């Protein structure tokens, strides 16, 4: 995957000047729940519940989030394989939200989807050759050198051999099926490819090859990708920008580097801390991992205010009552949170943690809390409170508490738009505390 | 994995035919599929064993025969239309019973109760017209004489344990109404409903995000602790392997190229393909600017398997062993340490030198 690495220069190459290819506003997809003989609607699964984002020509937008948060649904709606319940979708400036099948047909060539479930999306009665040449037949395209030759070239590109041409889907391994889906989607050189977990069933070496291939095509043909994945290490390698979803909403949307180095949404931070590291020596090194309290709430009746408040260790009253808007706190970093990490508190007046937040905090490591305290008055108060409750340790702990206060002062001074992460302040201050303990 | 025998040659010998001590023992397993283009040798002489309470992780390239191996243990190749064609040989011993030669009905009785499998493809393993709940209830009632009501309670409990929110409502949902990850978890619930003694999990966590993944791995560990189950886990996620494996088996082109304890394979890997695997892994604890070392080239054809060492067309070290031995002689598994085996013609000196000087510093 080395060659595919996006340098930071790519990202900073004035992405804002690139033309917008896809623009999504207020997008919703609700699945009605019906009951009884009359099939009356009794509720709805709010799989996607009001999201806004845009994708620029030639970029790769990664979408991550917990299972069931609406990623695949979002993908199927923006490619118009499912009807949106609300909101709008513009492709190359054209409103495609309500286009009918005939209106969509010419666009089918430009917008392709790679499906999460490779088996379900391949017709078991057609050979692989037939499946991959279908797009050429349907769109009446004759590639140079003929369909068969082109199909064989495509299969080779994704690491399958000509001996696979006449075989049926059930004769393939999981990873091979996924690559068939990729070959089919790339056949007509589309403008936008929405790839739902394109490499999750592939082992690392083929993952690298497929990612390389997608990257080469991007360079050659200016392809644009929306890549849905739960594997944060893969997403980091392929994306220019990343959107983090939680229960049908985007909670953070940022440049790759910003997101990995200074995530602002507590959920992003938790998600990142849980990635397993391939090193048996670090087995059980769970202290750094932020465990989330309880289950993902139901998308049928999502929590009020901030949907994450039932599991967030920073949640205060305002989080329960008021939904935070997705706003640009730093250039290129949009966040929906009242008490973001690595940034100034957006609701400093709210200084009392909800009781669920206290429970959530008990699953979070001290270091994480200390970092959070720097940007949340409520967490700071709580951290301080718990120290007072243990008088035997006050002498050792006190410098840390002061440190927190210091860090707060720093963040207050630097104010909005400050580039320095307040967390660093805590880190330094803590080291000081360490010294004084030793004395 | 206790050693089957000391020398690699003995490993390839015809299986002795008597019951082994291990709970699960696979000996010289071959699974071949005749096709119009030729014979596909998906699994070609594979041996390993797993004790109760232990986890063996099988890793290897896409198409290397991992799923075919697991389907063979479950006796699923002999079913349906495929069953007429598949050619299977070797021995699979489960708890003292040999399954390759056993009556299909007998194997069917073991399936679901003594051994269960989590399939790579949740959609293909679930029936689209029945609710998730009904499918779990059926799986439970086949082996337990209980009322529908009791079974439903058990189904809801299992859905809850795999982290499906609002399981008492979701139990009545259909597979297409579940997200990809939820379907996978529902299947895991179905596989675990009878507390199987052998669990084969084929990529159980690929469709899952990290938080749920951690939950599922915990669940598998619980099962192991509580019932002493043996687990065979197939995955390409080396993070998961590091987290859960006792032993690791690396497959390439239908054969085992390296196996040993998890520490052996991660810290003292001996096979060039294993080096490639470890090198091509994106890691979140590393800088993105660091170079990865991918395995170059295409996966081997299983019809015309490369001569000699199947990995030779892609192996950067193929020219080091003297003569053209890597191209003409198939390397057998050799013991390279206690319980650690590798199939490669490189001399121990060359292996150690390449590993310590070229590979390890880059990992
Ligand atoms: N019924 C069949 N007929 C012909 N070939 C088959 C059949 N089933 C599997 N194969 C071939 O056998 C090889 C091994 O397949 P298998 O499903 O075991 O791979 P795998 O290691 O599980 O790969 P993945 O990681 O992609 O799931 C593949 O090359 C596949 O194409
Ligand atoms: N056809 C449907 N009918 C009812 N509910 C649905 C339907 N399709 C999806 N859902 C629900 O919508 C929610 C979002 O599903 P979606 O498939 O978009 O999740 P996802 O983010 O892709 O998850 P995963 O990572 O597990 O694939 C889930 O709760 C799912 O059960
Ligand atoms: S601090 Fe409040 S707004 Fe921010 S994620 Fe937590 S609950 Fe939501
Ligand atoms: S036997 Fe030769 S070709 Fe095969 S892995 Fe060893 S060095 Fe490489
Ligand atoms: Mg999905
Ligand atoms: Mg497989």
What is the span of the domain harbouring residue B313? Answer: 255-362
Domain boundary among B195, B214, B236: B195
> Which residue is it, tokens 């990873």?
A175
Average confidence score pLDDT of chain B = 86
- B259 and B336 fall within a common domain: yes
> Rounded CA gap, A292 and A270, in Å?
7
- Does B61 contact chain A (CB < 8 Å)? yes
Q: Which residue has the higher pLDDT, A8 or B109?
A: B109
Q: What residue's CA is closest to ligand 1, atom 7?
A: A171
Residue A284: inside a domain, yes or no?
no
Please indicate, yes or no, whether residues B340 and B265 belong to a single structural domain of this protein: yes
- Domain annotation covers residue B246: no
Question: What is the tens place of the pLDDT at every residue in B304-325?
Answer: 999 999 999 999 999 999 888 9
Whether A323 and A220 map to the same domain: the answer is no
Say if residue A206 is in the same domain as residue A344. Answer: no
A92 and A186 belong to one structural domain: yes
Query: Which of B120, B207, B210 lies closest to A274 in CB terms?
Result: B210
Tens of pLDDT, residue by residue over A234-265, are 788 889 999 999 999 999 999 999 998 899 99
Across the interface, whether the CB atoms of B179 and A72 are under 8 A apart is answered: yes
Query: Which residue's CA is the nearest one to ligand 2's atom 27?
Result: B180
Residue A363 covered by a domain: yes
pLDDT computed for residue A122 by the predictor? 85
Answer whether residue A246 is part of any domain.
no
Kindly report the length of chain B. Answer: 363
In this structure, the answer to whether residues A218 and A319 fall within a common structural domain is: no
Supply the pTM of this predicted model.
0.79
Per-residue pLDDT tens digits for A379-416? 888 777 766 554 444 444 444 444 444 444 444 434 44
Residues A53 and A136 in one domain: yes
Average pLDDT of span B192-221? 84
Q: Is residue A39 part of a domain?
A: no
Which atom of ligand 2 lies closest to the CA of A72? Answer: 22
In this structure, the answer to whether residues B330 and B261 fall within a common structural domain is yes
A30: left (phi over 0), alpha (psi -120 to 50) or beta: beta
Both B283 and B357 in one domain: the answer is yes
Chain B partners of A203 at a C-beta cutoff of 8 Å?
59-62, 236, 277
pLDDT band of residue A71 (cuts 50, 70, 90) is very high
Reported ipTM: the value is 0.75
Show residues of chain A in contact with B120, CB under 8 Å.
Answer: 174, 201
* A74 and A173 inside one domain: yes
User: What does the pLDDT look like over A220-231, one tens digit per residue?
Assistant: 888 999 999 877
Of B162, B178, B195, the residue that ends a domain is B195
Structural domain boundaries, residue A180: 18-32+44-239
Residue A66 to residue B182, Cβ atoms within 8 A? no
Residue B2 inside a domain? The answer is no
Number of domains in chain B: 2
CA-nearest residue, atom 2 of ligand 2? B177
Residue A12 maps to a domain:
no
User: Is A301 found in the same domain as A230?
Assistant: no
CATH number at residue A179: 3.40.50.300
Residues A190 and A305 reside in one and the same domain: no
Nearest alpha carbon, ligand 2 atom 8:
B177
| pLDDT (tens digit per residue) in A186-213 | 888 899 999 998 877 676 667 777 777 7
Q: Which of A181, A207, A239 is the last residue of a domain?
A: A239
Q: How does DSSP assign B124-189, residue by residue?
A: HHS-TTS-HHHHHHHHHHHHS---HHHHHHHHHHHHHHTT-SSHHHHTT--GGGS-HHHHHHHHHH
- pLDDT recorded at residue A413: 39
Least confident of A10-19, A159-168, B178-187: A10-19
DSSP label of B253: T
Report how many domains make up chain A.
Answer: 2
Among the candidates A218, A239, A260, a domain finishes at A239
Q: How far apart are CA A115 and CA A137, in angstroms?
A: 20
User: Over chain A, what is the mean pLDDT?
Assistant: 80
Does residue A51 sit in the same domain as residue A173? Answer: yes
Split at pLDDT 50, 70, 90, the class of A16 is low
Q: Are residues A51 and A199 in the same domain?
A: yes
Same-domain pairing of A152 and A28: yes
Q: Is A307 found in the same domain as A201? A: no
* B201 occurs within a structural domain: no
Is B73 within 8 Å of B91 (Cβ atoms)? no
Q: What is the pLDDT of residues B331-349, one digit of tens each?
A: 999 999 999 999 999 999 9
Q: How far apart are CA A310 and CA A299, in angstroms?
A: 13
pLDDT at B293: 57
> What is the number of the ligand closest to the CA of A315?
3
Specify the DSSP element, H or E, that contains A56: strand A40-56
d(C-alpha A207, C-alpha A195), whole Å:
14
A26 lies in some domain = yes
- Pick the last residue of a domain from A223, A239, A255: A239
Q: Does A110 touch chain B (CB under 8 A)?
A: no
Q: Under an 8 A CB cutoff, do A2 and B292 touch?
A: yes
Cβ-nearest to A117 among B123, B165, B267: B123
Last residue of a domain, one of B195, B223, B244: B195
For residue A280, list chain B residues with Cβ-Cβ distance below 8 A: 242-243, 245, 262-263, 266-267
């Amino acid at each position: 995957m080395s060659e595919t690495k996006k340098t930071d220069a790519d990202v900073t190459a004035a992405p804002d000047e690139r033309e917008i290819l896809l623009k999504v506003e207020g997008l919703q997809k609700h699945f009605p729940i019906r009951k009884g003989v009359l099939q009356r609607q009794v509720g709805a699964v709010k799989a996607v519940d009001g999201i806004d984002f845009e994708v620029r020509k030639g970029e790769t937008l990664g979408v991550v989030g917990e299972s069931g948060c609406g990623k695949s649904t979002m993908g199927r709606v923006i490619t118009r394989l499912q009807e949106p319940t609300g909101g709008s979708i513009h492709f190359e400036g054209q409103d495609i939200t309500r286009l009918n099948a005939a209106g969509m047909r010419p666009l089918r060539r430009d917008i392709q989807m790679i499906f999460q479930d490779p088996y379900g999306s391949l017709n078991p009665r057609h050979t692989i050759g037939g499946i991959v040449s279908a797009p050429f037949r349907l769109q009446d395209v004759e590639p140079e050198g003929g369909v068969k030759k082109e199909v064989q070239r495509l299969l080779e590109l994704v690491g399958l051999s000509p001996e696979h041409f006449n075989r049926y889907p059930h004769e393939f391994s999981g990873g091979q099926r996924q690559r068939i889906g990729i070959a089919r989607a790339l056949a007509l050189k589309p403008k936008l490819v929405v790839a739902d977990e394109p490499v999750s069933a592939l082992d690392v070496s083929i993952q690298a090859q497929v990612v390389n291939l997608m990257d080469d095509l991007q360079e050659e043909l200016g392809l644009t990708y929306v890549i849905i994945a739960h594997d944060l290490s893969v997403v980091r390698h392929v994306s220019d920008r990343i959107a983090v979803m939680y229960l049908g909403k985007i909670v953070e949307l940022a440049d790759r580097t910003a997101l990995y180095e200074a995530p602002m949404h507590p959920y992003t931070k938790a998600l990142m801390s849980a990635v397993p590291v391939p090193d048996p020596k670090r087995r059980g090194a769970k202290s750094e991992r932020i465990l989330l309290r309880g289950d993902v709430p139901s998308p049928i009746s999502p929590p009020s205010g901030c949907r994450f408040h039932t599991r967030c260790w920073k949640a205060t009253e305002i989080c329960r009552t008021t939904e935070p808007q997705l706003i640009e706190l730093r250039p290129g970093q949009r966040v929906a949170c009242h008490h973001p990490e690595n940034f100034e508190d957006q609701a400093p007046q709210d200084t009392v943690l909800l009781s669920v937040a206290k429970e959530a905090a008990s699953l979070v490591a001290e270091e994480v809390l200390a970092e959070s305290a720097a940007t949340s008055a409520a967490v700071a108060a709580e951290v301080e409170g718990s120290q007072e409750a243990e008088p035997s340790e006050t002498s050792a702990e006190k410098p840390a508490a002061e440190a927190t206060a210091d860090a707060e002062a720093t963040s207050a001074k630097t104010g909005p738009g400050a580039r320095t992460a307040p967390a660093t302040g805590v880190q330094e201050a803590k080291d000081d505390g360490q010294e004084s303990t030793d004395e | 994995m206790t050693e089957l025998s000391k020398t690699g040659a003995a490993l390839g010998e015809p299986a002795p035919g008597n019951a082994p001590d291990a709970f699960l023992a696979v000996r010289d397993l071959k699974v071949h599929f005749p096709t119009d283009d030729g014979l596909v040798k998906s699994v070609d002489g594979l041996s390993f064993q797993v004790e109760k309470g232990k986890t063996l992780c099988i890793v290897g390239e896409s198409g290397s025969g991992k799923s075919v191996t697991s389907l063979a243990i479950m006796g699923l190749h002999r079913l349906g239309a495929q069953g007429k064609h598949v050619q299977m040989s070797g021995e699979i011993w489960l708890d003292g019973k040999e399954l390759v030669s056993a009556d299909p009905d007998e194997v069917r009785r073991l399936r679901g109760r003594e051994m269960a499998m989590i399939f790579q493809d949740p959609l293909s393993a679930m029936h689209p017209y029945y609710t998730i709940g009904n499918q779990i209830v059926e799986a439970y009632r086949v082996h337990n004489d209980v009322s529908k009501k009791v079974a439903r309670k058990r189904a809801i409990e299992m859905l809850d344990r795999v982290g499906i929110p609002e399981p008492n409502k979701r139990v009545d949902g259909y597979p297409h109404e579940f997200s990809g990850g939820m379907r996978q978890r529902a299947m895991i619930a179905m596989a675990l409903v009878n507390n199987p003694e052998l669990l084969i999990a084929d990529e159980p966590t690929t469709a899952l995000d990290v938080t749920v993944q951690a939950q599922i791995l915990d669940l598998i560990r619980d099962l192991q602790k509580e019932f002493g189950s043996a687990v065979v886990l197939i995955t390409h996620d080396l993070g998961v392997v590091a987290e859960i494996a006792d032993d690791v088996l690396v497959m390439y082109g239908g054969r085992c190229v390296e196996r040993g304890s998890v520490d052996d394979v991660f810290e003292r890997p001996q096979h060039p393909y294993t080096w490639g695997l470890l090198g091509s892994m994106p890691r979140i604890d590393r800088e993105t600017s660091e170079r990865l070392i991918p395995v170059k080239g295409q996966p081997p054809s299983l019809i015309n398997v490369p001569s000699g060492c199947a990995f030779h067309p892609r192996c950067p070290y193929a020219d080091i062993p003297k003569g053209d031995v890597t191209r003409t002689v198939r390397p057998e598994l050799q013991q390279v340490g206690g319980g650690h085996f590798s199939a490669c013609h490189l001399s121990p000196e060359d292996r150690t030198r390449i590993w310590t000087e070229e590979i390890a510093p880059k990992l």
